[in-house]
Structure 1
């Protein structure tokens, strides 16, 4: 009677089925020496053989039953051993058939090499991979190497030699083999030495060969697509990137284009593993805002857009602008895909435009519009403080029309620049001045009252007198009339205070010019 490792009955002679079922139960109970009771007779197990596969795994049991308990003689035991071998083969065949079907369906062929002689046996499936029938492939190792693509032969032989020498646990190599019709297919060959002699020399090696032509084609197409994408992104001005921020706080750049060198002065390899190395390149005044902008984008998943400065060795301070779209991953990470560009030139132009929009071109002082913005801000500070004060002075170059008429507008412009230079050097950091138009200028003195403002006005008149405008050897007389007022907390606007100082200026001009009048 034959049973598999699970106790399922695979074969029995003419004994009653209930005896076989009882035996299966005894096998499970490990009590094969007890008699098996049937309706007709008691049966005794004379011998039980546990059947093992080549790898030691249990396959099942073989049992000899008789109606009388007795011992087996030598001949009977020999017959039992033969029966056990046959039973073992029967139990292994289903697995072999399943393996054969699996191999046949996978596009894989099997080979068995006798290493000393070089003789190789190929399965029909292996031969079919190359378009051959079962009797068209020889067994010589020379024929096997002749089918390998010439460009791959050295690599194949070196890899298999390394395995023969024990340097690798198995043999695996991708290479090309010549098909029967002459073209080459890509294959993956895997194998392992399963038998060595006492000196460790390889005797037998078994392996498989799988057709991977389609896989290589897809892989090659993917490689070409990646290469094309890389070429395209490398041509885009700036740095194309993929940035990942993990829940544990660490960040990486899985991908950056070649533009990273221009943007940060570093290579992709330097920043890929740890994005924090870029923090040293960001201007320290801008780093907190940069990190906060990324945190906000990560929490809201809103697009990231931020401008910041970097400090690059040998290149100084430069402006960068980042734009990216975030996406949350299953593990809680947030990943951005975007672009960082160099906006240094744009920022320079913006500064120039800002200067043009807020600065008087001739004197380089704030123009009227900008001055009014500054004085409104100063009035707000006065209104918010119980102790802060400020004075406003309106100045007018005396007899300016006469200067233009006598020496020309070019000299008139030079006179305006001359006074603006003296004024710029006279005011403090907390003060500011502006050209209001024509020959009129305005000054705001921070933390000043009427008395200190008058003192400043006298000093300004004296400095202008001490530093005349010279045209060759000719001295061009310049003087100024000044009206003084203070910014008051109850002023509804800066224009109100400016109007008071303007009225004081009018009186100074009416009273003889080169004078100071107070509101």
Structure 2
């Protein structure tokens, strides 16, 4: 075929005979047109990206502000729960609880509800506790705090924890001003948090004076509708909004907040950032308490400066690149035309050598057909196949007539794989490698290294092979083609993939199982060894799995000294009986300290002697802790902290079994607080609970370690005295009786109790012993209370 018949055209439509100047002009104009299209597309993309960046900044700023509002609600709710769960909160307790809450809030305060008839007593008590005069005050016409006039009800600030340097407005009556009064009424009516409209805060520096008052009602513990007062958070919008946000000269957003319930639509907060030229606007709604705030966000000048358009740069670079490319093509086309003339001169010489190669090809063909298990394929410099042996026909399903001179080596390979290898080689070698040369380019450094490839058979199925490619040289050392040798490795790869899949599945299963999975052997001569240990074993023992497999004794060194021998013995017993192994034991870890571990394993006997276990271990420390907490709660009285009736009955049954078996001694002391109902009626149940707690404290300090102190219920208590006869129990009861009378209890004074003592009699049951103790208490009540009674003695 003549050489001119296969010459491609320049750019697909310009003849090779065309002037190089014409080619350069066409390329320059095309490049300029392309630069304009790219610039237009880039401009549209720039606008979309600016809007997206702005929306991301708006969403992030809104989320951060809403989290701050929610955080203030949570902190105030925690302070309210502190007052609801405490009948009486001192100033020190309030300061200790409120101090850590001062984050982005100017102050936290407690204002109790005081009626007109309680004012004088309330002011006197507050003055006494503070050690300085305390008066309920309000703002006068001069803006100063002055004593408040007589009203039916007051809500003065009693405790306050503030960041302000101007002092605390203690005694300030929140009902004195309509704005604060309406906020308190909304909070009391709804029973939830309420927020004031924008106001000037009292006792706050002028820079932080604009803000709101977040109020939470505090109800009485006995009645949810009886309000004791209010806890408040004094919030400066400047501090809440600006702290932690970028400085104005670096902020991308201009922020403005308006209270939607404010009829005047006053600006509650506005940032000092300079507004940009962009017309983008983002609006969101923030919620705090029962108010909704309108948040408006606009891009700042900083945002505009950091998002400038690259349209001018694209046009400039596009024009320069077009000019350079046209100049380059002018040089290449002119040189190509000169080179084609030289090619035509060499063509005649090459055809003469072609005949010689055909003769040599016939001889080589005979040799290649003898290799039936290996595919041997040779190509010319263009990649067209000129040798296809019998092994290649058997492997790929093609005949030599269908391939030689018609197909290229590239057409036998999987196209996607060629593209991937071509891209990889282009990066490695620093130049573009065509897909047709990808299977040959990997062997430029090592001509005898095999690589794995995927071939496509005639029926469309795929075949995995190892390929060894090399170059073919003539007698003068010139490159005349390529030689590729293929070996089918499909079955070998399938076996490797099955093994790898099994290993991945095992690793994935072991990683998702809570705890650790292991295989453990006990060989003769006490040789302990881990055959397999999953990654979970590292977390259980804080030992790397490789270390465990090398030395199993490292795991036993982590076991608690009191448990290690028990664990070893259980493993030996499981090996002896081939029984299921299950143990719970403690481990001492360097980082996490003491932990509880549960292990289970199934043993099997090894043919050569020894035992192999398949099992797992898991951390049950949380379960153990919950069990201990539940047990403690089930036997403890929640008010006084001593044992309850259930624990007393269990211990009494156990002691009765002991004395019936050994004929030892056992006594009980029952006591009932005198006139306890009067204490509750006069001072309240909170004081009554305090009396019970103080009584338990005094009695517990005088009991022996063997005695069991329990609360039967209400104001009745019982002391179980093992190994104690009647006289010893009586002396102990007298000591307890005296400890109550020696010192008064604030604020009720001296608290007395009636004591009854009974000691166990042979063949007597639990009911009989308790009945005699109860009768002794009844006798003490009947004979004047505040005394100790036994079966024989009276005091």
For Structure 1 versus Structure 2, the TM-score category normalised by the shorter chain is 0.5 to 0.7
Cα deviation, 1:217-240, whole Å, max 9, x if unaligned, reads 212221132123212321332112
Q: Which moved more, 1:395-404 or 1:327-336?
A: 327-336
Q: Give 3-state SS (helix, strand or coil) of 1:225's partner.
A: helix
Which residue of the partner structure matches residue 48 of structure 1? none
**1:503 is matched with which residue?**
775
The aligned counterpart of 2:708 is 432
Contact 1:250–1:274 (8 Å) recurs in 2: no
Return the match for 2:465 from 185, 191, 194.
Answer: 185
Residue in 2 that maps onto 1:476: 749
CA deviation vs aligned residue, 1:143-171 (integer Å, no higher than 9, x gap): xxx9x99879989979xxxxxxxxxxxxx
Equivalent position to 1:418, from 684, 694, 697 = 694
- What 5-or-longer segments of structure 1 have no aligned partner? 1-121, 137-145, 159-173, 188-208
Mapped contact 1:379–1:489 kept (Cα < 8 A): no
2:662 to 382, 385, 389: 385
Cα gap change, 1:501 to 1:186, in 2 (>3 Å): farther
Question: 1:135, 1:322 → 2: CA distance?
Answer: 59
Question: Kindly tell me: are residues 178 and 402 of structure 1, through their superposed partners in 2, closer, same or farther at Cα, counting changes over 3 Å?
Answer: closer
Q: Which residue pairs with 2:525 in the alignment?
A: 248
Contact 1:485 1:518 (C-alpha < 8 Å) held by counterparts? yes
1:486 paired residue number: 759
Q: Which structure shows the higher strand fraction?
A: 1
Cα gap change, 1:241 to 1:151, in 2 (>3 Å): farther
Distance 1:221 1:211 in 2: 18
Q: Whole-Å Cα distance in 2 between the matches of residues 264 and 286 of structure 1?
A: 15
Q: 1:511 to 1:155 in 2, by over 3 A?
A: farther
Preserved contact between residue 741 and residue 752 of structure 2 (Cα < 8 Å): yes
Distance 1:152 1:333 in 2: 53
Partners of 1:130 and 1:178 within 8 A in 2: no
Superimposed CA distance per residue, residues 246-266 of structure 1 (whole angstroms, 9 cap, x where no aligned partner): 243222222222112221111
Alignment RMSD: 3.6
What is the Cα deviation at residue 304 of structure 1? 2.9
Distance 1:457 1:126 in 2: 111
Question: Which of 1 and 2 has greater Rg?
Answer: 1
Q: Give the total of aligned pairs.
A: 349
Please say if residues 737 and 788 of structure 2, whose CA atoms lie closer than 8 Å, have aligned partners that are also in contact. no
Report SS of the residue matched to 2:519.
Answer: strand
Counterparts of 1:233 and 1:331, CA distance in 2: 28
Partner Cα distance (2:370, 2:756) in 1: 108
Asked if the contact 2:602–2:615 (Cα under 8 Å) also holds between the matched residues in 1, the reply is: yes
Structure-2 residue corresponding to 1:116: none
1:308 is the counterpart of 2:581:
no
- Map of 1:128 onto structure 2: 373
Say if 1:267 and 1:126 are closer, same or farther in 2 by CA, change over 3 A: farther
Measured after TM superposition, the shift of residue 125 of structure 1 is: 8.7
| Matching of residues 219-238 of structure 1 within 5 Å | 219-238=496-515
Displacement of 1:428: 2.0
Q: Aligned pair 1:345/2:622, yes or no? A: yes
Distance 1:436 1:244, change over 3 A: same
TM-score by length of 2: 0.40
CA distance in 1, matches of 2:597, 2:537: 12
Cα distance in 1, alignment partners of residues 527 and 440 from structure 2: 47
Query: Alpha-carbon deviation of 1:176?
Result: 5.2
- Counterpart check, 1:367 vs 2:367: no
Q: After TM superposition, give the deviation of residue 301 of structure 1 in Å.
A: 3.6
CA distance in 1, matches of 2:759, 2:691: 28
Higher helix residue share: 2
CA contact (8 A) 2:465 2:487 kept: no
Q: Show the counterpart of 2:79.
A: none
Match of 2:786, SS state, is: coil
Contact 2:699–2:736 under 8 Å retained in 1: yes
